[in-house]
Amino acid sequence: MVKFAAVHMGFSGSPPPYLSLVAANSSGGEGLGNTTKKPVAAAAFMRGASFASGGSGVLDSTGDTINMTKQIEYFSDLKDQMLTARLGAFGASAFLSKSIFLISAGSNDAIDFFSQDTSPDSTALQQFREAVVSTYDSHVKTLYNLGARKFAVIDVAPLGCCPYWRSRNPAGECVEPLNRLAKSLNDGLQDLFAGLSSEMHGMEYAIGSSYELVSSIVQDPQSAGLTELKSACCGGGGRFNADGGCTPSASYCGDRGKFLFWDFLHPTQATSRLAGRAFYDGPARFVGPITFRELAEA
């Protein structure tokens, strides 16, 4: 989804990973751990960088990867050691105020939480929601203090409709408790950004709803040009082809362009392309309070 949103904004695709740029431009070539970067290499970062890490979440306890706190620390390094060195403090601030900060997080947090207890009580649900939203709040405020002003956000999809979770439902339908959890996080996200935008001068935001986008496809797949909603295109066989990930020995579909899901959790490029278009300049059901296009032009 991020790739296609970036394409609509005029980029060739998602920006390169930050750490790959650091490795390529580190003084002496010592690799990823080197933090002595050449100021002249700042030009490589001027078109953007990705700090994403697969499996990470809003909460630092989610996944076994580079957590969001560390990702933001990397961005702080980029600002101080690259952008400021090239543009000066005022120039770097002006540059960042016009940049788009795209955040897509929360799904892995929800999956980790639900995997530990598929029948959580109301207290556990409330505590989890509050933890995610308050941590999200802290991350956004840190980014704002580092110069971010324009936030493009992608919310949590209806995770219960993924092949993995459908395969664990005897009826083969979406796992609605997980979907309700995702919806609750999204409601908290909406309230959070509405509040922050009124508190923090110059902040603007747009939230692309992967929840509504996927839900609309499930409700009317023909309008989206898709025919297979339940099974993974690439997977380890079994029910809904969800018994394993997409590996060299996996079972692979004949026409991935007709599938909603690529593997047991992730969407196909066809789905992501639809999302990118909807978030960039789609109707209010899929993006708001403004579109990604309007955010970029603001």
Residue 29 pLDDT more than 50? no
Neighbours of 75 (CB within 10 A): 21
Burial level of 286, CB count in 10 A (0-12/13-18/19+)? buried
Task: Check residue 174 and give left, alpha or beta (phi > 0: left; psi -120 to 50: alpha).
Answer: beta
Residue 260 pLDDT more than 90? yes
What pLDDT does residue 100 have?
Answer: 96
What pLDDT does residue 10 have?
Answer: 83
Residue 43 pLDDT more than 70? no
pTM, 2 dp: 0.92
**Across 239-268, average pLDDT:** 95
CA of 251: how far to CAs of 142, 173, 262, in Å?
A: 44, 22, 11
Per-residue pLDDT reduced to its tens digit, 127-155: 999 999 999 999 999 999 999 999 999 99
What pLDDT does residue 34 have?
Answer: 47
Structure confidence at residue 281 as a pLDDT band (50, 70, 90): very high
Q: What is the mean pLDDT of the chain?
A: 92
